[in-house]
A and B are shown apart, each in its own frame.
Chain A
Amino acid sequence: GNSVTQMEGPVTLSEEAFLTINCTYTATGYPSLFWYVQYPGEGLQLLLKATKADDKGSNKGFEATYRKETTSFHLEKGSVQVSDSAVYFCALILGSSNTGKLIFGQGTTLQVKP
């Protein structure tokens, strides 16, 4: 079936460290891929997205590239800040979907220490 798998957390980094959160997917057709972020006590908000192979989504210093050959959409940031501490969710919408139904990964908690 269609699914999203993320690396296990929590991930603990020092400020200014390099971040990678791995995400792989299984889906029929050509899905659109998303990263959502959830700050403590809040709902989810879109961080970035990519809708076709080789697209790169970027926002707030975060980047992710849609890799169809490896069915991956890994999230990266060159220098994390304490304010990046949050839960990050990788998600997809099936290409055949005419609704916005999201299929989420498990979520990865990031903690950045000063």
Chain B
Amino acid sequence: NAGVTQTPKFQVLKTGQSMTLQCAQDMNHNSMYWYRQDPGMGLRLIYYSASEGTTDKGEVPNGYNVSRLNKREFSLRLESAAPSQTSVYFCASSKTGVTEAFFGQGTRLTVV
């Protein structure tokens, strides 16, 4: 029962470096999401994909790009990391519509 798997779990980047966060789900869900979690702010939506082949911006998309590689995988890319992107990143997936979301364990990213 893998559910939603994120890699890596921890990462330290220097300002200006790039990296890709990987996410895969094995529940045959149509929708996938990337959130960031910051103290005192809850989780905020970065990007989402309602179905394979589509992606849309969420509340805080600046500085990020995403790729819905196939139904299982949804990656998040930081092209030029900034200290403001220091955060914990969560990938989630759900069936279509208003249903329960399943979350990965998170990636703790520090940009120095």
Contacts and interface: CB of A to CB of B under 8 A. Distances in A.
A104 B96 contact: no
A46 B90 CA distance: 14
Interface stretch (A66-74, A77-85, A91-99): A91-99
B44 interface: yes
Contacts, number: 64
B42 interface: yes
Contacts of A41: 105
B4 interface: yes
Nearest to B49: A99
Contacts of B101: 44, 46, 100, 102
Given A99-B96, A100-B94, A101-B58, 7 more contacts: A41-B105, A43-B90, A43-B106, A89-B43, A95-B98, A98-B50, A99-B31
Contacts of B50: 98-99
A42 B35 CA distance: 14
B53 interface: no
Interface residues of B, number: 28
Interface of A: 4, 32, 34, 41-46, 49, 51, 89, 93, 95, 97-102, 104-107
A43 B99 CA distance: 17
Interface string B92-104: 1011111111111
Interface of B: 4, 31, 33, 35, 40-45, 48, 50, 58, 90, 92, 94-106
Nearest to A94: B98
User: Which of A34, A44, A51, A95 is most buried by chain B, counting CB atoms within 10 A of its CB?
Assistant: A44
B48 A104 contact: no
A91 to B, nearest CB: 8
A42 B105 contact: yes
21 contacts: A41-B105, A42-B105, A42-B106, A44-B90, A44-B92, A44-B103, A45-B102, A46-B101, A51-B98, A89-B42, A89-B43, A93-B98, A99-B31, A99-B50, A99-B96, A100-B33, A100-B95, A101-B48, A102-B33, A102-B43, A107-B42
A99 B48 contact: yes
